[in-house]
Structure 1
Amino acid sequence: MIRVVVVDDEALVRSGFKLILGAADDIEVVATTAGAEAVDTVRREDPDVVLLDIRMPDVDGLTVLRRLRALPQPPVVAMLTTFDADEYIVTALRSGAAGFLLKDTEPDQLAQLVRTLAAGGVVMSPKASRAVWQSHPGASAVADEEATRVGRLTERERDVLVLIAEGLSNADIGSRIHLSAGTVKDHVSAILTKLRVGSRVQAALLAQRAGLLGDGQWCSGPGL
């Protein structure tokens, strides 16, 4: 079972997510809570995945994220937001979030996205991703600079980057394009270096912004 904690200041949102996810045979929402109790709840329940509201009145979602990331065995955290363009998302991704979801995500997608997170994948709404970065200060200059970095990748490295954005492990990437896991690992290291990013999540987001993924495609794991 994938153990999930939902953190949101609105009781209706918490109950809605619990109802939707609870219908899946392999997912259990072990707790829902507002932000002030989030860290204590996560310590107690030891979930695999936390869905965390990015904007809460009692405590800032970014503060909760930093505290969760500092735990000895931190859960995977994805941010929840109402806004297509939320400047906090950029900071959250740079602080270790594994992606973000709009709160109006289709219910039939939600369980699969949680499975993707639990498997180590990345989940990012393409609509929100574009809006976030277009609204980010200096977005145009950043886009130009990122395009230059992507241009340094070899064709094989671009292939690997797209599969990283799909949430595949090194072994799965190797199986997909007929390379050893060790060779894929070398490609991933080169990609992170050339893109000047510190994680697969950041590389996946850059791939989405660079147009390497389809317009309607989520950055996510297998099956989506």
Structure 2
Amino acid sequence: MIRVVVVDDEALVRSGFTMLLQAADDIRVVATATGADAEREIALARPDVVLLDIRMPEVDGLTVLDRVLSGGSPPVVAMLTTFDTDEYIEATLTAGASGFLLKDTDPGQLVQSVRALAAGAVVLSPGAARPMIGGRLSADRRAAEREIAALTDRERDVLALVSEGLSNAEIGRELYLSPSTVKDHVSTVLGKLGVTSRVRAALVAQLAGLERDRS
């Protein structure tokens, strides 16, 4: 059972997400919270995944993210936003968020995203990723392409699958590798790209237009 906490300042959003997620047999929403009580509720509920609103009036999502990830054995955190040009996206990315979802994400995709997050995958809503692809990073497209070119064929395959949101286990099944071998490849890729998270690596891959060669 995947344990989820939903953090949002709007009660309607919290109840709506809870209803959608609870319809899945393998997901349980163990708590909901506003920004002000998020840290306490997350500590009590000990979830696997936190869906966290970026913009909240009392305590904003970036503050909650920093506090949650600084604790021992933190959950996976994906940020929720209404805006596909939210200026906070890069800050939360740098702080360690594992994904970004627009609040109007299709219900079926929301459930699949939570499952992917729990499995260790990166989840990037196209609309939420667009500010990073189309903004500051657009000036670095050629640099991203050079960094991708420096990877081995196997590393490029691994990175392409990371950018598709696959977990290490799923990548292993695709490439006929053990999860531990995939983990080693991912670590090497992050080092070569000079990034510290799968999310940022996935954005570099998207920026460079990387796709897995399936020939």
Q: Same fold (TM over 0.5)?
A: yes
Structure 1 match to 2:127 = 127
Matches within 5 A, 1:68-87: 68-87=68-87
- Once the two structures are superposed, what CA deviation does each residue of 1:28-84 show, in whole Å capped at 9, x if it has no partner? 111111100000000011111100000111112101000000111111100000011
SS state of the match for residue 9, structure 2? Answer: coil
Structure 2 match to 1:219 = none
Structure 2 match to 1:204 = 202
Measured in 2, the distance between the counterparts of 1:213 and 1:16 equals 35
- Give the letter for the 1:16 counterpart: G
1:179–1:24 distance in 2 versus 1, CA, 3 Å: closer
Measured in 1, the distance between the counterparts of 2:95 and 2:53 equals 15
SS state of the match for residue 37, structure 2? Answer: helix
1:32–1:183 distance in 2 versus 1, CA, 3 Å: closer
1:47–1:183 distance in 2 versus 1, CA, 3 Å: closer
| Residue number among 146, 169, 176 corresponding to 2:144 in the alignment | 146
Task: Tell whether the 8 Å contact from 2:7 to 2:50 is kept in structure 1 after alignment.
Answer: yes
Measured in 2, the distance between the counterparts of 1:82 and 1:185 equals 33
Measured in 2, the distance between the counterparts of 1:166 and 1:5 equals 24
- Once the two structures are superposed, what CA deviation does each residue of 1:123-174 show, in whole Å capped at 9, x if it has no partner? 10123212333233xx333223222211212222211111222344445434
- Once the two structures are superposed, what CA deviation does each residue of 1:5-47 show, in whole Å capped at 9, x if it has no partner? 1000111111110111111111111111110000000001111
Measured in 2, the distance between the counterparts of 1:182 and 1:15 equals 38
Measured in 2, the distance between the counterparts of 1:181 and 1:171 equals 5
Structure 1 match to 2:14 = 14
1:171–1:51 distance in 2 versus 1, CA, 3 Å: closer
Q: Percent identity?
A: 63
Structure 2 match to 1:173 = 171
1:51–1:179 distance in 2 versus 1, CA, 3 Å: closer
The gaps in structure 1 that reach 5 residues or longer are 215-224
1:110–1:175 distance in 2 versus 1, CA, 3 Å: closer
Measured in 2, the distance between the counterparts of 1:103 and 1:119 equals 21
Structure 1 match to 2:98 = 98
Measured in 2, the distance between the counterparts of 1:46 and 1:132 equals 31
SS state of the match for residue 36, structure 2? Answer: helix
1:195 aligns with 2:186: no
Normalising by structure 2, we get a TM-score of 0.90
- Give the letter for the 2:103 counterpart: K
The gaps in structure 2 that reach 5 residues or longer are none
Matches within 5 A, 1:13-92: 13-92=13-92
Measured in 1, the distance between the counterparts of 2:179 and 2:46 equals 30
1:32–1:150 distance in 2 versus 1, CA, 3 Å: same
Measured in 1, the distance between the counterparts of 2:208 and 2:92 equals 20
1:114–1:170 distance in 2 versus 1, CA, 3 Å: closer
- Give the letter for the 1:113 counterpart: S
